[in-house]
Amino acid sequence: MTVRQAEDRSIPFLMHQIVGRVEALVNKWARPLGLKIEGVRVLFRLLGGDRTVNQLARLTGVEISTLSRLLGRMSAMGLLTRRRDAADARSVIVSLTDTGRKMALEHRPVYFKDYEEVLFGGISDQQAVMFRELLVDMIANLEAADEEAKPGAGAPAARAANA
Amino acid sequence: MTVRQAEDRSIPFLMHQIVGRVEALVNKWARPLGLKIEGVRVLFRLLGGDRTVNQLARLTGVEISTLSRLLGRMSAMGLLTRRRDAADARSVIVSLTDTGRKMALEHRPVYFKDYEEVLFGGISDQQAVMFRELLVDMIANLEAADEEAKPGAGAPAARAANA
DNA sequence: TTTCAATCATTGAAATCGCAAATAAATCCA
DNA sequence: TGGATTTATTTGCGATTTCAATGATTGAAA
């Protein structure tokens, strides 16, 4: 039944497995709300305050054109509103409605606590802390790699030394 | 510019960030090959031997109906073949063609080595080993949680204690 | 062996995605 | 200032995904 091979232990593969499983769980409880994982991310992100479409795209990792349409649907559901930014009329500011905020707050613990408890089951607090730090470091590494990949961009600066 | 809040450090969020970025990189180099991340996963999975459609779906996390059509496209590209399983005529066995195998082998190091090197930049070997083990443990935790969620299923057995 | 439920894969139809083009506003700079 | 460039968002459209339904096969029960 279970197939084991070298690929099983590649980091991207393992992380994809975990993320995929967690997202499947999120989709399951989000479905009755009429949302999928992307919508859930938008909802929670907006708890941190109003955001432009662009900011939301970066925060949630959703393609901007996809996000634009998703926002339309969520707006039609009464979860959020869109309005032009008075200061910069190119931007659109997205805000939660009371309904949206209520929904987000209600389900917040599931997303931000329950899943971590499952993932960290049997793992010491010390290891959990280190794990989180490593993830942050990895994101920094990826960002640095992105910078390097850019042609004209300035000096790669402080890419973490491979020590 | 950068927005910081509690959600930024949630494990699912951080992992989603990392996986998303890595997948974007994979998509970038896979595009000239006419593949996207899912196709790449199928290709590498088949390096481990022939698989049924069902097995591939579980191994790659691709929805089965999506996978069915993806296999059709990859078959048309000459990367793989499909044939009925003689032992169980419901199943279809998927195999790499020589072309497909060659493509997979050629790009294997990129997927299974280069990305890890980027991710692990500045991280000690010891920590890297621990990190990988933690990922494996987390998958086990998720599997255990799945079992518990099932109604009729047998005893939850050895779910790792929250110590 | 007939029947019924379960499993495997595919397909139709509608929803959604993602790229590229379009639109519009702000910024740059000669 | 005025034209070119950049930034922000939306939309057209073909490609892809998804859900539900279907066809085919198997396993097990009656």
CA atoms within 13 A of residue B109's CA, in its CB half-sphere? 1
Q: How many Å apart are CA A30 and CA A39, to the nearest integer?
A: 9
> Which of A18, A45, A144 faces B138 most closely, judged by CB atoms?
A18
Domain range B38-149, CATH class? mainly alpha
The low-confidence residues of chain B, meaning pLDDT below 50, are 1-4, 151-163
Q: Residue A154 has what pLDDT? A: 39
Q: Residue B6 has what pLDDT? A: 56
Q: Confirm or reject CATH 3.40.50.740 for domain A39-119, answering yes or no.
A: no
Strand D proximity: list residues 32-91 of B with CB under 7 Å: 36, 38, 62-63, 65-66, 69-70, 73, 88-90
pLDDT in tens, chain A (163 residues): 444 455 567 898 899 989 999 998 888 888 888 999 999 999 999 999 999 999 999 999 999 999 999 999 999 999 999 999 999 999 999 999 999 999 999 988 877 778 888 999 999 999 999 999 999 999 999 888 776 665 443 333 333 333 3
Strand pairing of B51-52 and B92-96? antiparallel
Positive or negative CA dihedral for B14, B146, A21, A94?
negative
Residue B31 CB in 7 A reach of strand D: no
pTM for this model (two decimals): 0.84
Q: How many Å apart are CA A133 and CA A139, to the nearest integer?
A: 10
Residue B37, token pair as written in the block: 């991340």
Q: Residue A151 has what pLDDT? A: 46
Q: Residue A3 has what pLDDT? A: 41
| B83 neighbors B92 (Cβ within 8 angstroms) | yes
Q: Residue A68 has what pLDDT? A: 98
| B49: closest CA of chain A, how far (Å) | 10
Q: Residue B150 has what pLDDT? A: 52
